[in-house]
Amino acid sequence: MNNALHILRRIGSAAGRVLRRLARAVASGTARFAQIIRSDGARRVGIMTIASSLIGAFALPAFGMTQAPIDYSRNDGQSVVAADGSHTVVKDNFAALSAAQAARQGLLVVYPRYTGPSVADLLQNPPYANGYDLAAVFAVAKKYVGIPYRYGGASPAGFDCSGYIQFVYAQFGVALPHSVSGQGVIGKPISINDAQPGDIVMMAGHNGFYAGNGMILDAPRAGGSVSIRPIWTTNYYIIRLGI
């Protein structure tokens, strides 16, 4: 241990001398700089390499070593704030960043706070039990635009695709499983030409609310949030729930 510390001190001392000489050389002209490099040879270059590495390691900005939260509490769609307490970075295009990528970058996902009724609570006392129609369902669904995707989520603290549909329909007294396939079995298939906003777009492993004009309102994927976007495939069908 003592030998190692002694070696590190010698390296640091030598590196300091070299850095001071190089600074003076740069100040007096490039010719002097080149002369020092030639006279000191490979030994000095090696010391400079080590010194540069040490300086680089300890000169990292603070946010490179801290865990910066991705704050979804702003609830403003794709605009997400990443902050580490000393600075704020706005990520306007966050859709491609998955939860796994966020973890690799040292980012902690922070979801919106929600203390309201759960799906079970809503089914016991549905606020729109007497006002069910597709237009009303779609109007309620649009209230949650900007809520982040959250695997297994079924509340405004974060939705996955089927959890989003389950939560919205529970407000109308319609009980649905938290499952794409389960919701597909319960729904009645209808013609795409007859689809109305509030019906459900079904595809392999995913679903969302039909938004009209070939659009879907859905909770898309990790890193995304509830939004209206074009349906990207022809391999889908429409079901109607609550009838």
| Assigned token pair, 28 | 């007096």
- Check: CB of residue 227 under 8 Å from CB of residue 77: yes
Query: What is the rounded CA–CA span in Å between residue 195 and residue 240?
Result: 8
pLDDT of residue 75: 39
pLDDT at 223: 85
Does 54 or 202 have the greater pLDDT score?
202
Match 């859905």 to its residue by tokens. Answer: 218
Q: Flag the least confident range among 23-32, 92-101, 191-200.
A: 92-101
Tell whether the model's pLDDT for residue 14 goes beyond 50. yes
Amino acid 29: pLDDT: 54
Q: Is the pLDDT of residue 23 over 90?
A: no
Q: What is the 3-state secondary structure (H, E, C) of the chain?
A: CHHHHHHHHHHHHHHHHHHHHHHHHHHHCHHHHHHHHHHHHHHHHHHHHHHHHHHHHHCCCHHHCCCEEEEEEEEECCEEEEECCCCEEEECCCCCCCHHHHHHCCEEEECCCCCCCCHHHHHHCCCCCCCCCHHHHHHHHHCCCCCEECCCCEECCEECHHHHHHHHHHCCCCCCCCCHHHHHHHCEEECHHHCCECEEEEECCEEEEEEECCEEEECCCCCCECEEEECCCCCCEEEECCC
Specify which residues 200 forms β-bridges with: 209, 239
Task: Spell out the domain ranges in the chain.
Answer: 2-59, 64-110, 119-240
Mean pLDDT of the chain: 74
pLDDT at 222: 87
pLDDT over threshold 70, residue 126: yes
pLDDT at 155: 96
Specify burial of residue 160 (Cβ count, 10 A radius: 0-12, 13-18, 19+).
buried
Q: Which of 1-15, 189-203, 209-223 has the lowest mean pLDDT?
A: 1-15
Return the residue matching tokens 């919106």. 112
pLDDT in the model for residue 132: 85
CA distance 165 to 180: 9
CATH (one of 3.90.1720.10, 3.40.50.1820, 3.60.10.10, 3.20.20.70) for 119-240: 3.90.1720.10
pLDDT band at 111 (very low <50, low <70, confident <90, very high): confident
Q: Which of 241, 123, 119, 243 is nearest to 185 (CA)?
A: 241
Of 80-89, 160-169, 182-191, 212-221, which range is least confident?
80-89
Read off the pLDDT band of 51 (50, 70, 90): very low
Structure tokens of 79?
């605009």
Give residue 129's pLDDT band: very low, low, confident or very high (50, 70, 90): confident
